[in-house]
Amino acid sequence: MNNLIRENLDFIRQNLPVNVRLVAVTKKMSIDKIKEAYNAGVRDFGENHLQEALEKIEILKDFPDICWHFIGHLQSNKASKVVKIFQWIHSVDSLKLAQTLERLAQENNLYLNACLQIKLLPDPTKFGWEIAQLKQDLPLLDQCEYLKIKGLMTILPLGLTEAEKFNTFQSLRNLATEINNNSWQNIKIKELSMGMSNDYLLAIEGGSTMIRLGTIIFGERLVN
Ligand SMILES: *Cc1c(COP(=O)(O)O)cnc(C)c1O
């Protein structure tokens, strides 16, 4: 085994402000690669497919200081596992899912940190709140106490120019400011989960606090 993953991480960390958390996205990556990243100091790992994640987390249960982030679309009927096993969910994309997670977290007396996934530009392939719907749902979202709504997350559509990407990242930051200006009881947006392998430097410039990086750390994913 070579040290490529460590080298990639060293390179990324050179440009990483201290307030930006690097989440290593390990979907379709082997357990060996996850361990390599762990040995290079990574403790935040992200998965977007529940079944695959549960299998890996079981294998890696002797690494209890890993913080697992769920970053994919989640059906409400599978939410219970996420509440019990993950510390973060970045992809809360509907009121129904938020309320289900809240109920399950309360029943299990657990907290789950959450980002609301926002669709800033039309994109039929992505889940997430459109802004008008989000504003309508915020009063009910604010009733969540066990689901800790601490952040906003977005995934950019393909094909944007650099300027469009940067503007879109800034729009997410502006939306966070606007939400916080309302002084909600429970909702306090401190995190912006934005930036992937091909746009994370722009995302950091735009105010990201959590970047989700896969291929730039691990290389291309295996297709199945
Ligand atoms: C796969 C994935 C990433 C990582 O993408 P890369 O381009 O490999 O860095 C980040 N966020 C989400 C939600 C993903 O599904």
| 159 alpha carbon – ligand 1 mean position (Å) | 16
Q: Which structural domain range is residue 155 located in?
A: 3-218
Give, using CA atoms, the residue closest to atom 6 of ligand 1. Answer: 214
CATH number of the domain that 156 lies in? Answer: 3.20.20.10
Which atom of ligand 1 is nearest to 90's Cα?
13
Whats the size of the chain, residue-wise? 224
| 61 alpha carbon – ligand 1 mean position (Å) | 23
Residues with CB under 6 A from ligand 1: 25, 27, 48, 71-72, 155, 196-198, 212-216
| 212 alpha carbon – ligand 1 mean position (Å) | 6
pLDDT (tens digit, 9 = 90+) per residue, 88-138?
Answer: 999 999 999 999 999 999 999 999 999 999 999 998 889 999 999 999 999
Each residue's pLDDT, cut to its tens digit, for the chain (224 residues) gives 568 999 999 999 998 999 999 999 999 999 999 999 999 999 999 999 999 999 999 999 999 999 999 999 999 999 999 999 999 999 999 999 999 999 999 999 999 999 999 999 998 889 999 999 999 999 999 999 999 999 999 999 999 999 999 999 999 999 999 999 998 999 999 999 999 999 999 999 999 999 999 999 999 887 65
| 45 alpha carbon – ligand 1 mean position (Å) | 11
| 109 alpha carbon – ligand 1 mean position (Å) | 30
Which atom of ligand 1 is nearest to 200's Cα?
9
C-alpha distances in Å from residue 192, one per residue of 76, 77, 204, 205, 206 = 23, 27, 10, 12, 10
The answer to whether the CB of 103 falls within 8 A of the CB of 68 is: no
The answer to whether the CB of 42 falls within 8 A of the CB of 6 is: no
pLDDT of residue 3: 83
Whether 223 is in a domain gets the answer no
Give, using CA atoms, the residue closest to atom 12 of ligand 1. Answer: 71
Tell me the C-alpha distance between 98 and 134, whole Å.
12
Tell me the C-alpha distance between 7 and 131, whole Å.
39
Tell me which residue has tokens 């934005």.
Answer: 194
Whether 106 is in a domain gets the answer yes
Closest C-alpha to 77, from 109, 108, 100, 52: 100
Whether 119 is in a domain gets the answer yes
Q: Looking at the 3D structure of the chain, how many domains does it have?
A: 1
pLDDT of residue 40: 97
Two structure tokens written together for 201: 């430097």
